[in-house]
Chain A
Amino acid sequence: MRSMHVCTVAELRLQIDSTFDGVPVVGAGIRDLCARECLTPVEASMIELAVVEAVNNAIEHGYQEQPGGRIEIHVVVTASQIDAVITDAGPPIDPATFAERYEDPKSVDRSALAEGGRGLTIMRGVFDELRYARRGDRNVVTMRKTRDAAAQP
């Protein structure tokens, strides 16, 4: 028997109402899960950030910030990868929304900077894969990241 902690498969399932008040709870749950599964605090924070962006999108665009909608969050961490699935029952999202956008700040002046619209950039930057699907009456956003083997104990 090995006495050291061995990272195995761990998951988090949460449901929140469609208001921003529930989002910090999601963040705390993801940080705890990631810490238990041997991710560094910064890695855990980035996973939290990307999932929070997906949840914020569901609240803002899926439910227009109206309470009473349900958002499901499912995160699975294994030794080799991290998967996150965020589901809402809002109206379908135009898949073109998920097209990659590129901002080169050197070429824009202050007044041309966008205040919003960086959520997808963050989700794509943290995870290796970002997918959107309409399944029945639900929007399903899936993110996957391969864990860096060298960073594991």
Chain B
Amino acid sequence: MRVEDRSEGGVLVLTIKERRLDARSAPELKAKVGALIAQGFDWIVLDLAEVEFVDSSGLGAIVSGLKQLDQKGDLVISGASEAVVSLFKLTRMDKVFRLFPATAEAVHALDARVHRG
């Protein structure tokens, strides 16, 4: 699975460069997010702008990232398509994850929390 990561201040932006986040790709995403959290990245924006399809396995990998953060930091979503937002709503995960239309907005929101401490 192709994923790009970059740091913006104290925030890590993880951009998924795949069209599908499904049962095939979910284990790899879960491992990737887990490794980054283990390296100490606690404030994460998951950029889904290029993702057209997410199923419950893909969603499970995203939930896994949040669980691995435990009490630290946050993991938020940016750029999700209307269909992907519908998946979050159907499963009520829109109550768990903050969904931002644009990555810059998500980074800004998390960065403010990083500096608040």
Q: Answer yes or no: are A and B bound together in one complex.
A: yes
B63 and A115: CB pair below 8 A? yes
- Known: A27-B53, A122-B56. Contact between A115 and B24, CB under 8 A? no
Size of interface on A: residues with Cβ below 8 Å to B: 33
| Interface flags, A98-113, vs B, CB<8A=1, else 0 | 0000011110001101
- Nearest chain B CB to A46 CB, angstrom units: 6
- Nearest chain B CB to A105 CB, angstrom units: 4
A46 and B91: CB pair below 8 A? no
B102 within 8 A of partner (CB): no
Q: How far is the CA of A24 from the CA of B64 in the complex (A)?
A: 23
Which interface residue of B22, B24, B90 has the most chain A CB atoms within 10 A?
Answer: B90
Collect the chain A residues with CB atoms within 8 Å of residue B91's CB.
Answer: 103, 118, 121-122, 125
B55 and A52: CB pair below 8 A? yes
A88 within 8 A of partner (CB): no
Collect the chain B residues with CB atoms within 8 Å of residue A21's CB.
Answer: 24
B69 and A110: CB pair below 8 A? yes
Q: Which of B29-61 contact A (CB under 8 A)?
A: 52-53, 55-57, 59-61
B113 within 8 A of partner (CB): no
B66 and A49: CB pair below 8 A? no
Q: Which of A14-48 contact B (CB under 8 A)?
A: 20-21, 23-24, 27, 41-42, 45-46, 48
B22 and A113: CB pair below 8 A? no
- Nearest chain A CB to B88 CB, angstrom units: 11
Collect the chain B residues with CB atoms within 8 Å of residue A113's CB.
Answer: 63, 66-67, 96
B70 within 8 A of partner (CB): yes
A4 within 8 A of partner (CB): no
Query: What are 21 A-B contacts defined by CB distance under 8 Å?
Result: A20-B23, A20-B24, A21-B24, A41-B83, A42-B82, A42-B86, A45-B83, A48-B53, A52-B22, A60-B23, A104-B92, A105-B93, A105-B95, A105-B96, A106-B95, A110-B66, A110-B69, A110-B70, A116-B57, A118-B56, A122-B56
Sample of 15 further A-B pairs with CB below 8 A, known A49-B53, A105-B93: A20-B23, A23-B22, A24-B20, A41-B83, A53-B56, A56-B23, A56-B57, A59-B23, A104-B92, A110-B71, A111-B70, A113-B63, A118-B91, A122-B55, A122-B90
- A-to-B contact residues, CB < 8 Å: 20-21, 23-24, 27, 41-42, 45-46, 48-49, 52-53, 56, 59-60, 103-106, 110-111, 113-119, 121-122, 125-126
